[in-house]
């Protein structure tokens, strides 16, 4: 008995097992690679697989006249389709011609040919059925809750599918960044047939996933032994990588492995048996694959190299199968041609998406091939060591394969490398390595990318099958007869362990991961479900920020709802026949008190997610409550002088009365008051008719009196709400009282939709609306806007709004104002430009600071919209308060009565203890020197973002754009540079007491430790889940704190490089973080965290417990605020957007600030990094001025 092979396989498995353990631990990957390599060498003793000779084809007759007629007609129809597309660009007739042509082409080769037969044994059929059931279970179990929601792109895919069905056919679309349309048309067809439901959306990809498993089985069975194919297919059926994407409606990506597996299977069979039908369907599959995701465009290289290898390794096979390969090429042309025509006509559109995400951008930016090489490293290691960091694609950073599958993959890869001369293994290697290119050639921050490389799924699991093919053959030859059941038993245990591992990772760890939960848009999903459940029986008014999400288009498809217009729906100005539900986004929480004042009997509900965080707000108003706000409140009094208490109080819907049956015996008096809504800017004539005396007042603009008879007065009125009051005295029974108006289009009695009980006037700003984006010319609409919002009253995609009025400043001091707008906006206070948020852009928030005295100040807000999304929101931060939208009560239109509004709500803050008397303040801040300038020469910078200073005054700079660290003395003289061969994007750095330099690099998601001379000491971070870390600090004990920006957590690392704690989790509550960009540690171990996307500093104690917080300016996470603990226990914070440096005490009180935007000495352009030399000097990385500035502080 030859035991070399069994021992060799067992040894290989043991070495690979240990190697995989090394991959799962901290440390360099080379240890695991060496062990896998040794395991591979053990496989050299295994006899190579004996290649099957091509089988002789029986029963295939020559093509007859009918065959050629059908083939010719099919080709003719496809040519006509191409001509139609050439002339019309898009045409349903072309689609019909294409489908007919393909059908006839297939029929031409199918007619009269022998039918392929597959009669599996009963046991094989049962095992295959079991595998497919397991695959279906893994892809449907808890499908309604995992993933947690419908991600934006999924809903987009469904909606585009429905749109493409309604539009003329085109094989490619500019929409969605440029995509072939076929996958979305198929998805749209499924939605049209089975209903527009999230379950149908997801079921489509489930079906594709299970079909991929089935096709893979036949492919593996064709290439390897039956038991190996069964093992490999089972591993694919339970693979978390494939299962994850089978449950997400990324339909174009999911079709790639299906078509690739089908092509290889059919082409392999054709090469083996020469059957024409195999070549036809292989070509059809090959061509249709181009109609899926752009990553498929790499696959022709796989086919080409495979056929080229066959040309040399199996001389004569290609020549013998040349006719079949011609059929394969012809069938490919038939399916590919419409897409190819589009590519020839509009090449810039066809390749635009690939160019937009190309690694070439990183190569040009860094002026090196390091990003490309780093992409290669990450992609090769994603199966065994560190996988996709995206929470939608994976449990962040978890290897794409479970431990056992990773071992089999590694050994299968190694064995295939040993046998690369055999065409079977060469194909797998070419498929694997070329299949990685869609990820490798992507932007550096996209890698590893498990979605773009999804076409590698069949190759990866065929490599596992290749190992099992040799392992099964080896052990089966030893265990014959009844003993073989022990082998089946061992294999069953292995597969059960793999199933359990994948199930646990996906349905437990991944499903309970916060970042995974929040990455699937749970808020928009729940909003869509709520609208679907309640929209048919209620009038749904949904915040516009929510309505723009595709979930709100797909989930409640066909259910009516209305985008909330603050100026039209608060209060509701239309007659309603059903209850009204206001569904509000989080930023509209300030509207709740307004709704409660308008509709005090409304029902308020706060909807929470599974972590107890608010998702959205509901305020439900019954139809009777809406009606109760319409009209004017009136008080009827006995007598003429309004001296008696009101005898009757009620709401009158219209001001049109006949006193034949008066409410009180004459004489009586009545007073109506409330709000008049003017629907459009223009000239109005108010008409008052009364048999007694009556007075009509309209704010400060009109007072019309009559004493029996008719009076009228004309005036120009802006649209919006105005105060209205009517007083009347009726002496006798009989007669009438009527108020009507002549509007720009008709004369009529003022109806109830123009009269409102609440006082809706007096607050807001006067809006001047103009076409175009320049605020020039006379306004075509003028209206009183109680809310600042992108009101599209001109029904145009390009317009501008100028808001004018007063703002009440409740206390003297420095105020921060900001605008969040899409497109541009400008804010002026007392004629001074405070916020410059101009230009064409998406949602951008910008701030400005101004010193204001208590009282009323002129305000002018400019906004323009020029197509695309629209948004304008006005924010402020009064002294001692948090950032919030300016309350409408603080705004007054011109000519309005200026009344002091109620005090602002007192923010919930921690009581500030008295500072110890020993704490010194800061005197003057003086500019000392600067050095740098843009470039890559020594002493010059490209967007430096980090700076640290040693006790000896040595300055270290993270020269981010140049991928290096530069060292200077305190005067700015160049000392040295290092790190170019290791660093990709050095962002921030810190020094310990021994002078070692810690550099955090989001380009590589690692922390590097260098000696003071620039020698690399260590590389930390593998397995920590680092995702774009942007800041760090080192405490007095040598512990390192990392602001792991993308992971929304702060990591604590021991001096020995062990991860010892994680502080915070994703969210906006106390102690929760959203994209933290830096952290500073004080002398007591307290952490000051720059919680960037929550716009605040959070203070945590040494154990990560929340202490307090204060607000800071908004900024993005690249040009991000950084913080340093320095002189007298004060905190120094950069404000990139304002071009300033703030100094706070430990409780968040501003001690001083300096700087402004510009490029002169002491001015900044996006300052990011900041350092303190433990004396009285502060160094600032003035990023976009490409320099370091040094300032001197006086005590």
Give the whole-angstrom CA distance, residue 869 versus residue 544. 10
How far is the first Cα of the chain from the last one, in angstroms, to the nearest whole number? 88
911 pLDDT more than 60: no
Mapping DSSP to helix (H, G, I), strand (E, B) and coil, where does residue 963 land? Answer: coil
Structure confidence at residue 225 as a pLDDT band (50, 70, 90): very high
59 pLDDT more than 70: no
For 857, the enclosing helix (H) or strand (E) is: strand 855-866
331 pLDDT more than 70: yes
Q: Strand ranges (DSSP E) for 979-1091?
A: 988-991, 997-1001, 1006-1010, 1016-1020, 1031-1034, 1040-1044, 1049-1053, 1059-1063, 1076-1081, 1087-1091
pLDDT at 1127: 67
Q: What are the pLDDT digits (tens) for 385-398?
A: 999 988 899 998 89
Decide: pTM greater than 0.85: no
Same topology, domains 631-756 and 924-1194? Answer is no
Rounded mean pLDDT, 176-180:
79
pLDDT at 924: 78
Domain ranges for the chain, please list them.
Answer: 7-46+123-514, 65-110, 525-626, 631-756, 765-892, 924-1194
Tell me the HSE value of 1008 on the side-chain side, using a 13 A CA sphere.
28
Long-range contacts of 99-102 (CB under 8 A, 24+ apart): 100/74, 101/73, 101/74, 101/75, 101/76, 101/77, 101/334, 102/74, 102/78, 102/284, 102/334, 102/335
Structure confidence at residue 355 as a pLDDT band (50, 70, 90): low
Measured between alpha carbons, how far is residue 270 from residues 48, 109, 112, 431, 514 in Å? 24, 14, 18, 19, 49
Tokens of 289: 């694959």
CATH class name, domain 924-1194? mainly beta
How many residues belong to the chain?
A: 1195
pLDDT at 351: 79
Burial grade of 962 (CB within 10 A; 0-12, 13-18, 19 or more): buried
Q: Please determine, looking at this structure, whether the domain spanning 631-756 carries the CATH number 3.40.50.720.
A: no
906 pLDDT more than 90: no
Rounded mean pLDDT, 70-84:
94
Give the whole-angstrom CA distance, residue 494 versus residue 473. 17
Identify the residue with better confidence: 1007 or 751.
Answer: 1007
DSSP string covering 62-131: PP-HHHHHHHHHHHHHHHHHHHHHHHHSS-HHHHHHHHHHHHHHHHHHHTTPPPP-----HHHHHHHHHH
State which CATH number among 3.90.182.10, 2.40.30.10, 1.10.1370.30, 3.10.450.100 fits the domain covering 765-892.
3.90.182.10
Give the whole-angstrom CA distance, residue 755 versus residue 734. 25
Rounded mean pLDDT, 1077-1095:
91
Contact (Cβ atoms closer than 8 angstroms) between residue 60 and residue 276: yes
Contact (Cβ atoms closer than 8 angstroms) between residue 468 and residue 231: yes
175 pLDDT more than 80: no
Give the whole-angstrom CA distance, residue 264 versus residue 126. 25
Identify the residue with better confidence: 136 or 734.
Answer: 136
Rounded mean pLDDT, 74-82:
95
Q: What are the pLDDT digits (tens) for 425-472?
A: 999 999 999 999 999 988 776 789 999 999 999 999 999 999 999 999
Lowest mean pLDDT of 181-190, 247-256, 344-353, 1017-1026, name the range: 344-353
Burial grade of 73 (CB within 10 A; 0-12, 13-18, 19 or more): middle
What are the helix (H) ranges across 224-321? 226-238, 240-246, 251-273, 276-289, 299-313, 317-320
865 pLDDT more than 70: yes
Tokens of 529: 């479900």
> Could you tell me what percent of the chain has a pLDDT over 70?
96
- At which residue do the structure tokens 């007298």 appear? 1128
Structure confidence at residue 1175 as a pLDDT band (50, 70, 90): low
Tell me the HSE value of 111 on the side-chain side, using a 13 A CA sphere.
15
Rounded mean pLDDT, 772-792:
87
Q: What are the pLDDT digits (tens) for 920-929?
A: 456 678 898 9
């Amino acid at each position: 008995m030859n035991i070399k092979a069994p021992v060799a396989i067992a040894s290989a498995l043991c070495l690979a097992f240990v190697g995989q353990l090394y991959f799962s631990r901290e440390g360099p990957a080379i240890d695991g690679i060496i062990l896998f390599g040794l395991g591979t060498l053990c496989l050299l003793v295994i006899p190579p697989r004996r290649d099957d000779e091509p089988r002789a084809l029986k029963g295939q007759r020559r093509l007859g006249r009918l065959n050629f007629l059908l083939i010719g007609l099919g080709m003719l129809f496809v040519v006509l389709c191409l001509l139609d597309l050439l002339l019309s660009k898009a045409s349903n007739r072309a689609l019909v011609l294409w489908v007919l042509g393909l059908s006839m082409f297939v029929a031409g080769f199918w007619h009269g040919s022998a039918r392929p037969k597959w009669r599996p044994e009963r046991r094989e059929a049962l095992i295959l059925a079991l595998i497919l059931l397991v695959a279906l279970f893994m892809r449907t179990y808890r499908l309604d809750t995992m993933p947690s929601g419908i991600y934006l792109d999924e809903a987009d895919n469904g909606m585009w599918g429905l749109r493409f069905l309604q539009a003329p056919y085109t094989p490619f679309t500019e929409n969605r960044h440029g995509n072939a349309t076929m996958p979305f048309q198929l998805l749209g067809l499924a939605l049209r047939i089975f209903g527009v439901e999230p379950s149908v959306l997801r079921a489509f990809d489930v079906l594709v996933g299970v079909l991929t498993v089935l096709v893979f089985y036949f492919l593996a069975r064709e290439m390897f032994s039956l038991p190996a194919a069964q093992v490999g297919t089972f591993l694919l059926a339970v693979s978390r990588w494939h299962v994850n994407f089978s449950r997400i409606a990324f339909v174009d990506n999911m079709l790639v492995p299906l078509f690739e597996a089908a092509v290889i299977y059919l082409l392999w069979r054709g090469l083996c048996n020469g059957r024409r039908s195999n070549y036809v369907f292989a070509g059809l599959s090959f061509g249709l694959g181009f109609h899926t995701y752009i990553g498929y465009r790499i696959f022709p290289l796989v086919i080409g190299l495979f056929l080229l290898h066959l040309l040399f390794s199996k001389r004569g096979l290609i020549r013998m199968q040349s006719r079949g390969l011609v059929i394969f090429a012809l069938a490919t042309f038939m399916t590919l041609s419409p897409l190819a025509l589009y590519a020839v006509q509009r090449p810039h559109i066809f390749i635009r998406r690939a160019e937009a995400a190309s690694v070439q951008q990183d190569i040009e930016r860094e002026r090196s091939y390091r990003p490309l090489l780093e992409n290669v490293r990450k992609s090769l290691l994603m199966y065994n060591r560190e996988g996709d960091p995206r929470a939608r694609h994976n449990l962040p950073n978890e290897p794409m394969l479970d431990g056992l599958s990773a071992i089999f993959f590694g050994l299968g890869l190694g064995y295939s490398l040993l046998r690369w001369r055999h065409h079977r293994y060469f194909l797998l290697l070419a498929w694997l390595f070329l299949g990685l290119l869609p990820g490798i050639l992507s932007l550096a921050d996209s890698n590893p990318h498990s979605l773009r490389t999804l076409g590698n799924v069949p190759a990866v699991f065929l490599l596992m099958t290749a190992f099992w093919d040799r392992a099964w053959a080896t052990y089966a030859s030893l265990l014959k007869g009844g003993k073989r059941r022990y082998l089946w038993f061992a294999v069953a245990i292995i597969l059960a362990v793999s199933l359990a591992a994948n199930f646990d990772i996906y349905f437990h760890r991944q499903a309970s991961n916060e970042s995974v939960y929040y990455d699937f848009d749970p808020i928009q999903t729940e909003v869509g479900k709520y609208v679907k459940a309640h929209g048919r029986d209620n009038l749904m008014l949904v915040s516009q920020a929510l309505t723009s999400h595709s979930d709100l288009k797909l989930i409640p498809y066909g259910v009516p709802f209305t985008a909330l217009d603050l100026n039209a729906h608060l209060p509701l100005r239309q007659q309603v026949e059903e209850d009204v539900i206001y569904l509000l986004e989080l930023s509209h929480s300030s509207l709740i008190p307004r709704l409660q004042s308008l509709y005090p009997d409304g029902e308020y509900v706060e909807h929470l997610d599974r972590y107890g965080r608010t998702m959205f707000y509901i305020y439900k108003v019954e139809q009777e409550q809406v009606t109760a706000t319409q009209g004017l409140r009136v008080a009827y009094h006995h007598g003429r002088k309004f001296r008696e208490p009101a005898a009757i109080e009620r709401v009158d819907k219209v001001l049109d009365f006949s006193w034949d049956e008066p409410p009180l015996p004459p004489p009586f008096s009545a007073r109506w008051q409330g709000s008049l809504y003017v629907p459009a800017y223009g000239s109005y004539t108010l008409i008052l008719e009364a048999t007694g005396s009556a007075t009509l007042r309209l704010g400060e603009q009109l007072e019309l009196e009559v004493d029996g008879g008719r009076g009228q007065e004309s005036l120009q009125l802006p649209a919006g709400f105005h105060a209205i009051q009517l007083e009347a005295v009726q002496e006798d029974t009989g007669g009438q009282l009527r108020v009507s108006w002549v509007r720009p289009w008709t004369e009529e009695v003022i109806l109830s939709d123009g009269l409102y009980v609440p006082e809706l006037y007096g607050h807001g700003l006067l809006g001047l609306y103009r076409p175009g984006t320049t605020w020039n010319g006379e306004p075509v609409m003028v209206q009183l806007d109680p809310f600042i919002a992108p009101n599209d009253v001109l029904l145009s995609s390009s317009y501008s709004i100028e808001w004018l009025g007063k703002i009440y400043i409740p206390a003297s001091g420095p105020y921060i104002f900001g605008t969040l707008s899409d497109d541009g906006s400008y804010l002026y206070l007392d004629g001074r430009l405070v916020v410059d948020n101009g230009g064409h852009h998406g949602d951008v928030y910008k701030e400005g600071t101004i010193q204001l005295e208590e009282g009323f100040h002129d305000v002018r807000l400019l906004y323009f919209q020029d197509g695309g999304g629209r948004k304008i929101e006005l924010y402020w931060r009064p002294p001692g308060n948090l950032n919030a939208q300016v309350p409408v009560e603080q705004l007054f239109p011109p000519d309005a009565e200026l009344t002091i509004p109620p005090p602002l709500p007192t923010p919930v803050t921690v009581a500030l203890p008295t500072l110890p008397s020993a704490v010194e303040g800061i005197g003057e801040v003086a500019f000392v020197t600067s050095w740098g300038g843009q470039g890559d020469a020594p002493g010059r910078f490209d967007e430096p973002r980090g700076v640290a200073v040693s006790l000896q005054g040595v300055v270290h700079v993270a020269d981010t754009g140049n991928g290096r660290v530069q060292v200077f003395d305190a005067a700015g003289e160049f000392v040295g540079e290092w790190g170019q061969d290791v660093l990709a994007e050095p962002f921030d750095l810190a020094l310990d007491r021994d002078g070692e330099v810690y550099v955090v690099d989001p380009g590589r998601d690692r922390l590097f430790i260098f000696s003071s001379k620039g020698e690399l000491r260590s590389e930390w971070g593998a397995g920590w889940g680092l995702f774009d870390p942007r800041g760090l600090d080192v405490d007095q004990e040598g512990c390192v704190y990392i602001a792991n920006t993308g992971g929304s957590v702060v990591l604590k690392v021991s001096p020995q490089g062990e991860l010892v704690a994680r502080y915070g989790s994703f969210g906006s509550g106390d102690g929760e973080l959203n994209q933290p960009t830096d952290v500073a540690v004080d002398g007591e171990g307290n952490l000051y965290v720059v919680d960037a996307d929550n716009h605040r500093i959070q203070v945590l104690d040494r154990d990560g417990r929340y202490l307090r917080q204060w607000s800071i300016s908004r900024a993005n996470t690249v040009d991000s605020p950084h913080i340093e603990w320095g002189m007298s226990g004060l905190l120094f914070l950069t404000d990139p957007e304002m071009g300033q440096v703030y100094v706070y005490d430990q409780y968040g009180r501003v001690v001083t600030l300096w700087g402004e935007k510009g490029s002169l000495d002491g001015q900044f352009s996006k300052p990011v990094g900041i350092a303190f030399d433990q004396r009285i000097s502060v160094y600032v990385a003035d990023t976009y001025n490409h320099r370091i500035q040094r300032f001197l502080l006086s005590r």
